[in-house]
Structure 1
């Protein structure tokens, strides 16, 4: 089974805008279409509460003609056009789909952050983890989220193996970002967020990229758009992950990044697993 995950940073912009960045985003979609993945997880869709429009669906079907779509958007009392997730899954699959809430603080459960697919042999779940925010204004809530989410994954794992992916908004170790010393209290690299991710792994999960590649450096999934040279200089962060239940880690064959070319922000990640 081949699975891809990507934080797209606005599905509407990627599909319908004529901006130079949108053209780069569509080039990534064309790359993903060529990958012939069974499942594609997409985060930060930023769609309305009504989800993808008819035009969005038609365009997605042009890239992924053999896939069905399920989605979750941010709804009141959360912000409109914020966060959001979407799955494309091959139409030969027949998953049970849930939109879990984890008793998260504030409006986090209303922000469309988690979708879970249940197949006979496993759960496949994606997450768009809340960012701690400028000035770490959401760090306290983020720590609660991390604990609740870890407990949720553990509850799935108690039933059957789990494949979990998404934008976790944390660089776990110093080797997961280019400049750790200057980012000690930056959102995504606080001790609290890193400890939260360690706690998640300690619940019985494996970071598949590190499992296959060891302590390789310079491997990132995100480059800041605010810096025009971040990708050229590879001053990136690895904040997107494929995790699996420890008991099936030996079944993972591939866990890597897919090139997004000149496009900054997130790059897609791919995992192949023999279940």
Structure 2
């Protein structure tokens, strides 16, 4: 099974550029920052099952998951209004596992939303650990955080995604809760970035992840950054040794 996660920086824009077609061949496609509640005709006729969760605010945030497999259940949001009105989490339940598509908030300029971000992090943690009591969990998306210095082309701990608080939580999930950073498992000595700034060419970070609960560690076959243009993010591909979820 092949899963792609991609912050498309606008679904309509990425569709116009033709870049989205390059990932529709995969089994599951998780999109973040779709910024719309409308579905392009290309997707409606793609033959894929489509689930989306848009923000209340027009042209903002939103997530969408396209899949070749029909889910048993779909969970929109975290049941917390301040997060759910921004359309940030979409979960599909399958027979063998849960797939969580998540667009984590940015800590904001001057870290004005850092407290909001950390509260969101902890709420997501509680949510996915409850799901994990029932079956394995895979959470993919734009986490808007790095793990360490190797994951950024620059370093300033007052910058969003680089703060100690954001890094501490992400590493806690991996080191303490038993989730596997699939990219690092497959590429332990490789450093690539998944986001780069349009404005400041020297700014780039690895902030997009697929975290896989340890029960599925032996099923991780591959994880790689796909150099597909069209957004300020690159897609991340996760391949598992299972035929269907």
Q: 2:20 aligns with which of 29, 37, 42?
A: 29
Q: Give the structure 1 partner of residue 59 of structure 2.
A: 81
Taking the aligned partners of 2:22 and 2:216, their CA distance within structure 1 comes to 28
In the alignment, structure 1 segments of 5+ residues that lack a partner are 17-22
Secondary structure of the equivalent of 1:71?
strand
Q: TM-score, normalised by structure 2?
A: 0.92
1:1-275 mapped onto 2 (5 Å cutoff): 1-16=1-16, 23=17, 26=18, 28-33=19-24, 36-47=25-36, 51-53=37-39, 56=40, 58-61=41-44, 65-75=46-56, 79-90=57-68, 92-103=69-80, 107-180=82-155, 183-201=156-174, 202-217=176-191, 219-227=192-200, 229-230=201-202, 235-261=203-229, 263=230, 265-275=232-242
Deviation string for 1:190-237 (max 9, x for gaps)?
0010011122222221111111111322x110001112x34xxxx521
Taking the aligned partners of 1:102 and 1:167, their CA distance within structure 2 comes to 20
Deviation string for 1:88-120 (max 9, x for gaps)?
111x4343111132537xx32211100001010
CA contact (8 A) 1:102 1:149 kept: no
Taking the aligned partners of 1:212 and 1:253, their CA distance within structure 2 comes to 8
The structure that has the greater radius of gyration is 1
CA contact (8 A) 1:129 1:169 kept: yes
- By percentage of residues, which structure has more helix? 1
CA contact (8 A) 1:6 1:268 kept: yes
Q: Give the structure 2 partner of residue 20 of structure 1.
A: none
Give the CA RMSD over aligned residues. 1.7
CA contact (8 A) 2:49 2:70 kept: no
